[in-house]
Amino acid sequence: MVQPDTLGNWRPLLVAVGIVTLARVLLLWISPTDLYVDESQYWVWGQNLDLGYYSKPPMIGWVLRLFDELAAHRSAFSVRLPAPLFHGATALLLGVWAQSLMPENRRAALWVAMAYLSLPIVTVGSFLMSTDTIMAPFLVGALVLYWRVCEGGKPIHALAGGLLLGLAFMSKYAAIYFLPGAAIAYAIHPAMRPSGRHLLLFLAGFLISASPNIVWNIANDLTTVSHTMDNVGWIKEESAGPSLNFGSLAEFAASQFAVFGPVFMVFWLIALRAPAPSRRRALLWFSIPVWLIVLTQALLSRAYANWAFAAIPPATIVAILWALERDSSRWLKIGFGINIAVVLVISFLVAFPMAIKGDDGQPFAKRYVNIAGLSRDAFELAEHNGLSTIVANNRGILADLFFTGADRDFALYSRPHKGAPKHYYAQKKALPKSLEGKVLYVGYAEKLTCKGTAVEPVADLAQEVGTWTNVPIPAYIVDAACLR
């Protein structure tokens, strides 16, 4: 796609993406925020490399393990460092792909890459670790190679594209949305019909790289699949079934304008009916099914804004190329202006999370500041009382205990749950039946009893600022048997 004699044309793209990525890395470096519960859990997964985990496929754990091995010092920064790098790589791939779709406009690559990096959802994803971030470059790589195959590419392109789609699936199951998009495009657009041989190679590549997690799920009672279905909500066994929730539908629809940018979303909606070359118009089908499926989920139960992230990369190309083709420079600049304003606010909060206050205190600080303070206090309390074992029940407390205490000489366990485990720690780190003696139990707004007798806490580990404020965090010294 890129000829050697035109490499100089890519310099603006490389420089622009490099500057934005470097700025985001530096913001992460100075940020005083701690890892959120999900981020800490992803890191914990990576300490025990596996082919799947409680609630997600394994790629994010593998990536964080790699960066952990390379880091000179473990910190929230080292865990989050892949985030801006992966989104920077995704922006470069989108830029190169966009240029091949609109070769007549020499700035198409720059516009699309910068538009992607300006999206509010990508900005947030560049400062926090998520499976969307890890999936993004693999998914876009699969799309680029699939397009190459449809243009008459070689068998190696089909196999490599399938392998990349499998790696995207190993990052987040939402990568599977690629398949209905490709099927619809195949049915409607003759230009999107690769040969049968290429299709088989693409599917073979997908199965080769996705099969480890598929086999792991089968061997582990479909653990991750079951958790994913639990998120869907209305298909749970205890659910009364689907019911129409128009408020949830409206909320999710509005969230897509917010995370994509209102002007860019309008561009995409107009592009649904606007004429375009057949192959470029087919690109719409790699977003439409994603949004329709998640909109349906929102109507029947609930859906979070990031659940449709797989639609974002192809939608970015569609929206920006539509605007460039019609020379809508004024509205394009307005769209960038709105997104950049949001980017600046998010970046400010990353650097100064205590700066903005609301009716409920400091909402950003409540989620990301001083999470580790509770863990440090728990370790000090245990040391002071000569204890080497700490037990907790709350997933957020456990997540940070394992991360903050990774280099400390403590045994850390989850309090066992009755029935199916409610989180990863209850599944893999439950207090063993053989353990006896005194332990420190860190509770969460709860009163502890042992054999019918109330146990008095020895301390309250609630913090003055940050996540663990305004909620009792009682600490108890009890026999391990009392927690089973």
What's the average model confidence in pLDDT over 104-119? 95
Looking at the structure of the chain, the number of domains it has is 2
- Residue 364 domain-assigned (yes or no): no
Same-domain pairing of 344 and 393: no
- For residue 79, the one-letter residue type is V
Same-domain pairing of 72 and 148: yes
Helix/strand/coil (H/E/C) assignment for every residue in the chain: CCCHHHHHHHHHHHHHHHHHHHHHHHHHHHCCCCCCHHHHHHHHHHCCCCCCCCCCCCHHHHHHHHHHHHCCCCCHHHHHCHHHHHHHHHHHHHHHHHHHHCCCCCCHHHHHHHHHHHCHHHHHHCCCCCHHHHHHHHHHHHHHHHHHHHCCCCHHHHHHHHHHHHHHHHHCHHHHHHHHHHHHHHHHCHHHCCCHHHHHHHHHHHHHHHHHHHHHHHHCCCHHHHHHHHHHCCCCCCCCCCCCCHHHHHHHHHHHHHHHCHHHHHHHHHHCCCCCCHHHHHHHHHCHHHHHHHHHHHHHCCCCHHHHHHHHHHHHHHHHHHHHHCCCHHHHHHHHHHHHHHHHHHHHHHHCCCCCCECCECHHHHHHCCHHHHHHHHHHHHHHCCCCEEEECCHHHHHHHHHHCCCCCCEEEECCCCCCCCCHHHHHCECCCCCCCEEEEECCCCCCEECCEECCCCEECCCCCCCCCCCCCEEEEEEHHHHC
- Residue 439 domain-assigned (yes or no): yes
Same-domain pairing of 177 and 108: yes
CA pair distance 426, 410, nearest whole angstrom:
18
Contact 107, 39 (CB under 8 A): no
Residue 178 has pLDDT above 50, yes or no: yes
Mean pLDDT taken over the chain: 91
Q: Please list, in sequence order, all residues whose beta carbon lies within 8 angstroms of the beta carbon of residue 247, skipping any fewer than 6 positions away.
A: none
Contact 233, 301 (CB under 8 A): yes
Same-domain pairing of 428 and 329: no
Contact 135, 174 (CB under 8 A): yes
Contact 24, 86 (CB under 8 A): no
Same-domain pairing of 344 and 438: no
pLDDT tens digits, 24-60 = 999 999 999 999 999 999 999 999 999 999 889 999 9
- Residue 356 domain-assigned (yes or no): no
Domain final residue pick, 351, 379, 406: 351
What's the average model confidence in pLDDT over 341-353? 95
- For residue 354, the one-letter residue type is M
- Residue 298 domain-assigned (yes or no): yes
Residue 170 has pLDDT above 90, yes or no: yes
- Residue 9 domain-assigned (yes or no): yes
- Residue 17 domain-assigned (yes or no): yes
Size (the chain), residues = 484
What's the average model confidence in pLDDT over 250-254? 96
pLDDT tens digits, 269-310 = 999 988 777 778 899 999 999 999 999 999 998 899 999 999
* Domain encompassing residue 326: 4-351
pLDDT tens digits, 442-483 = 999 889 999 889 999 999 999 988 899 888 999 999 999 999
Same-domain pairing of 335 and 379: no
- Residue 366 domain-assigned (yes or no): no
> Percentage of the chain surpassing pLDDT 70?
93
Same-domain pairing of 287 and 425: no
pLDDT value for 355: 82
Same-domain pairing of 175 and 205: yes
Q: Please list, in sequence order, all residues whose beta carbon lies within 8 angstroms of the beta carbon of residue 232, skipping any fewer than 6 positions away.
A: 297, 301
**Integer CA distances (angstroms), 48 to 21, 37, 61, 328, 444, in order:** 30, 18, 8, 51, 27
- Residue 186 domain-assigned (yes or no): yes
Main-chain dihedrals φ then ψ at residue 212, nearest 5 degrees: -55, -40
Same-domain pairing of 233 and 381: no
Same-domain pairing of 309 and 377: no
Closest CA to 280 of 192, 160, 180, 149: 192
Same-domain pairing of 26 and 86: yes
pLDDT value for 279: 75
Domain final residue pick, 292, 316, 351: 351
Same-domain pairing of 121 and 215: yes
